[in-house]
Structure 1
Amino acid sequence: MERKTHILVIPYPVQGHINPMLQFSKRLATKGARVTLVATSTIRNSMQALQGASSVNIEIISDGSEGDETVESLIATVDRFKDVVSQSLAEYIEKLNSSKYPPKFIVYDCALPWTLDVARKYGIDGAPFYTQSCAVNVVYYHFKKGTVRLPLEEPTVSLPSMPKLAINDLSSLLSNPSSYPPLLNLFLDQFSNFLEAKWIFFSSFKELELEVVNWMASQKWPIKTIGPTIPSMYLDKRLEDDKEYGLHLFKPDVDACIKWLDTKETNSVIYTSFGSLASLGEEQMQELTWGLKNSNCYFLWVVRETEQKKLPTNFLQETVEKGLVISWCSQLEVLAHKAIGCFMTHCGWNSTLEALSLGVPMVAMPQWTDQPTNAKFIADVWKVGVRIKLDERGIATKEEIEFCIREVIEEERGKEMRMNSVKWKELAKEAMDEGGSSDKNIEEFVAELVGL
């Protein structure tokens, strides 16, 4: 079948945005569209070989970088990024317009709202893709609209369709607005023109955030939940060879992890990872090492190479019987392993969705941006985990870490969390399977585009 309907998909160049948008691209391709993922040059040098995404074309356009930018420098140069990518994208669309497959539509990262203006200059329509939860985005929307103002005067915030949110349940950019003003502006600007789009895509699934999704629909948002955006082999298994995201900015050490896990009993290992960006302070790192050690459980801990110098001397030798520390791993493969009893996580949205989709209860230790809100939902709404309480210095102590791990792994409450986790796992799979809520949304979108 010749794929005539050509869709461009352009993510913000960080791993947590690329992965879900690449998965969405694969799903669009299975519905008969021709899909090109337009990456920008920031990730060129750190991009490992793209595998398992042969259904998606990959094109790299310039963003003015030399391919070695950090997220911090990306945020600091957000205006330059916009200027250069607008120009590069316009040139790329012009080139495609005189080819056999001119683009019919562009799905763009919500952090790049100006993409819609570029597309419309060429008579192409577009839709934003939101890489954070529906709940987090609704909170940002209320701040953008002025329903809630900074600085906050009350200890809690009440918003329609949401549980009451304490200050420490809000994005760190809202609870501490002076921490990263350029990033806060980036998140609030996501809503600058979003209602001009015909569709708004969310990396979530309807059943998971039903009240929030219904509220959005009641506000006439043209919302389509299309997740969980994780490889098909962990969900509906309908996409052949879709076992991994296919795009790595870090090199995982797969064999060492799985061989080690194969020697452990079911539900006996704590998997600990704080994602590709979070950086823990030295004191926090010390408390975490002691908390893991004192829990007396087996642990698999991802500590990026840049962070490993913070580990206490002799820690690796002292815990060789109980722990394995690695610089990166294939998180999906690890979470799917029967030995994993809980996931100690920073609560990034992709990690949260992966744990929910694989039925793994969590110990929530949020660091910044959207993570505190995700932690609130993990503990109090979906009831699939516990949230670590910080002391007056903002530190998670070794006693608190040990207590939370034991609660999930050993206590009665842990069994309840595990049962809830299995329930969400089934609902995640149903959403992506044939006729499920997310599958139908993707199907309807492509069918309507083909008919245009």
Structure 2
Amino acid sequence: MPQTDVDAAAAAAADPDHVAVLAFPFATHAAPLLAIIHRLATSSPNKHFSFFSTEQSNNSIFSIYKQNINIKAYNVWDGVPEGYVFSGKPQEHIELFMKSAPGSFKKAMEVAVSETGRKVSCLVSDAFFWFAGEMAEEIGVAWLPFWTAGPSSLSAHVYTDLLRETFGDGGVTGLEDELLSLIPGMSKIRIRDLPEGVLFGNLESFFSNMLHKMGRALPQADAVFINSFEELEPSITEDLKSKFKKFLSIGPFNMISPPPPVADAYGCRTWLDSQKLASVAYVSFGSVTTPPPHELVALAEALETSEVPFIWSLKDNSKVHLPDGFLDRTTSQGLVVPWTPQSEILAHRAVGVFVTHCGWNSLLESIAGGVPMICRPFFGDQNINGRMVEDVWEIGLQVEDGVLTKHGLLNSLYKVLSLDGGKKMRENIKAFKQLAKEAIGPNGSSVNNFIALSDLMIMSTSSKDEKVTSNTFLEPRFTSNQKSQENQHSYL
């Protein structure tokens, strides 16, 4: 046997821990999961992590980090058959991937076990993979799902059955402004703020069913971990602790492990250095969403009329929708660029407000920068995040009537940048920033939860029956689009 194989066999015998990580390869799911795995791998150099995602996802996210010697990426099929023609059905690519995912993950995990000589000792997954609980149970290891958004949106999915029993499923017309006082910590959240697929929208869509199954499955997990800190949403956090075996807030990741500095190709930082304190509006709606053309026009008109200095992250192909002459007239007022180093911009002293879609990662970056928000949510958890920002945390505003208008945005910019209300928002968000710093500091809640998560990975096989042999690695008892409903019961 070659010396390298001897060394590998000796390492496996000395420390058999092999954590399989199943990533959801769409939107901003895989990158935060890799961030926490990177931290865990650094703190546990003898533990091996196999990270499974699609080739496109792996190529993108692994370029950010220097690869740890104890993390290896494995590519899984994206689920799109050769020659497949997309029909334009919403979330069609996600549905194709999810239908193939159990089998694809199984095959890739078998390859990882064969290459490392270590059977899987713990299964970490994106929370969307409700089927991972059965996979973990079958091989006798702990299941540790990761929820990429905030506690409030997670609570909505956990309480879906109760919400449907209370308000009906699909018949909430006229009840949109009803408050969700029946859920701890959600007394200021309205039905209209819920993610689609809980009480309204197509409740029978693949995505809605996936999230419903997830909400039912997560209470069976050995622990659910999340990119947040307990002090941000204490009531909801305590309630979720009562619903799950363990609920571990281990963030904010952007403050614990800031991404490495990136090239500022468009000179944003240099431009900000010449601006006054807390005077600049930073505008970005993430990498997935762009407002419709009439809202882009309204946003441009509001910025120009306000004379507020701005940086606007806008894809080049969307500039055609801007008012004629806007770019020329505002060259001395602001920058319109296709990409920005967002976390660094939000940390700059000159930025006074963040006009955002209110995605969870952007929200946490805004807290880290101490910058109040003007929220224009679009889908998913963004509406509930926006409601928390305005009415619970009081660290920003939602745009009037949920859409960008010239008058509405002018009013919001004035409130945040000019009035005492904006001063209060800045004080509130800086207080949350301080709580986040304490959570990730010595003996902080997130640090202690991270240690608990790491311990669960180490001890995962000690509390499980040893079911695995080289020939019974994993064989899901369900098809990719059908899960047995036997033994399912209410989590309430």
Same fold (TM over 0.5): yes
Instruction: Provide the rounded CA distance (Å) in 1 between the counterparts of 2:135 and 2:383.
Output: 34
In structure 1, what is the equivalent of residue 76 of structure 2? 61
CA spacing shift, 1:46–1:214, aligned 2, 3 Å? closer
In structure 2, what is the equivalent of residue 136 of structure 1? 153
- 1:27 partnered with 2:39: yes
Q: How does 1:4-403 map to 2 (within 5 A)?
A: 4-32=16-44, 33-43=47-57, 49-52=63-66, 54=68, 56-65=71-80, 75-98=91-114, 99-145=116-162, 146-148=164-166, 149-150=168-169, 151-152=171-172, 154=175, 155-158=177-180, 159-161=182-184, 162-174=186-198, 176-178=200-202, 181-230=205-254, 232=256, 234=258, 242-243=259-260, 253-254=264-265, 256-390=267-401, 395-403=403-411
Asked if the contact 1:157/1:165 (under 8 Å) is kept, the reply is yes
CA spacing shift, 1:222–1:425, aligned 2, 3 Å? same
In structure 2, what is the equivalent of residue 424 of structure 1? 432
In structure 2, what is the equivalent of residue 436 of structure 1? 444
Q: TM-score, normalised by structure 2?
A: 0.81
1:359 is matched by which residue type in structure 2?
G
> Max radius of gyration: which structure?
2
Q: What displacement does 1:351 show?
A: 0.6
Q: Secondary structure at the match of 1:9?
A: strand
Q: What displacement does 1:91 show?
A: 1.6
2:48 is matched by which residue type in structure 1?
R
CA spacing shift, 1:115–1:307, aligned 2, 3 Å? farther
Q: TM-score, normalised by structure 1?
A: 0.87
Q: What displacement does 1:350 show?
A: 0.9
Please report the RMSD computed on the Cα atoms of aligned residues, expressed in angstroms. Answer: 2.8
Count of residues in correspondence between the two structures? 435
Instruction: Provide the rounded CA distance (Å) in 2 between the counterparts of 1:53 and 1:147.
Output: 48
CA spacing shift, 1:225–1:422, aligned 2, 3 Å? same
CA spacing shift, 1:396–1:448, aligned 2, 3 Å? closer
Q: What displacement does 1:440 show?
A: 0.8
Asked if the contact 1:42/1:66 (under 8 Å) is kept, the reply is no
Q: Secondary structure at the match of 1:156?
A: coil
CA spacing shift, 1:87–1:183, aligned 2, 3 Å? closer
Instruction: Provide the rounded CA distance (Å) in 2 between the counterparts of 1:306 and 1:172.
Output: 28
1:365 is matched by which residue type in structure 2?
R
Asked if the contact 1:172/1:372 (under 8 Å) is kept, the reply is no
Instruction: Report sequence identity in percent.
Output: 27
2:414 is matched by which residue type in structure 1?
R
Cα deviations by residue, 1:283-328 (Å, 9 ceiling, x for unpaired): 1111111111122110001112342322222211111111101112
Q: What displacement does 1:396 show?
A: 2.4
Instruction: Provide the rounded CA distance (Å) in 2 between the counterparts of 1:101 and 1:306.
Output: 48
Asked if the contact 2:279/2:352 (under 8 Å) is kept, the reply is yes
CA spacing shift, 1:217–1:79, aligned 2, 3 Å? same
Asked if the contact 2:152/2:236 (under 8 Å) is kept, the reply is yes
Asked if the contact 1:173/1:369 (under 8 Å) is kept, the reply is no
Instruction: Provide the rounded CA distance (Å) in 1 between the counterparts of 2:67 and 2:232.
Output: 27
Instruction: Provide the rounded CA distance (Å) in 2 between the counterparts of 1:45 and 1:120.
Output: 30
Cα deviations by residue, 1:188-241 (Å, 9 ceiling, x for unpaired): 22223212211111221111010001112233542111111225355xxxxxxx
Instruction: Provide the rounded CA distance (Å) in 2 between the counterparts of 1:427 and 1:446.
Output: 23
In structure 1, what is the equivalent of residue 481 of structure 2? none
Q: What displacement does 1:34 show?
A: 3.2
Q: Secondary structure at the match of 1:325?
A: strand
CA spacing shift, 1:449–1:171, aligned 2, 3 Å? closer
With 78-87 and 15-24 compared, the bigger mean Cα shift is at 78-87
Q: What displacement does 1:107 show?
A: 1.2
Q: Secondary structure at the match of 1:433?
A: coil
In structure 1, what is the equivalent of residue 453 of structure 2? 445
Q: What displacement does 1:170 show?
A: 2.4
Asked if the contact 2:284/2:313 (under 8 Å) is kept, the reply is yes
CA spacing shift, 1:211–1:53, aligned 2, 3 Å? farther
2:409 is matched by which residue type in structure 1?
I
Q: What displacement does 1:165 show?
A: 2.4
CA spacing shift, 1:19–1:3, aligned 2, 3 Å? farther
1:417 is matched by which residue type in structure 2?
M
CA spacing shift, 1:25–1:147, aligned 2, 3 Å? farther
Gaps of 5+ in 2: 1-10, 463-492
2:226 is matched by which residue type in structure 1?
F
Q: What displacement does 1:402 show?
A: 0.9
Asked if the contact 2:346/2:371 (under 8 Å) is kept, the reply is yes
Q: What displacement does 1:27 show?
A: 2.3
Q: What displacement does 1:332 show?
A: 0.8
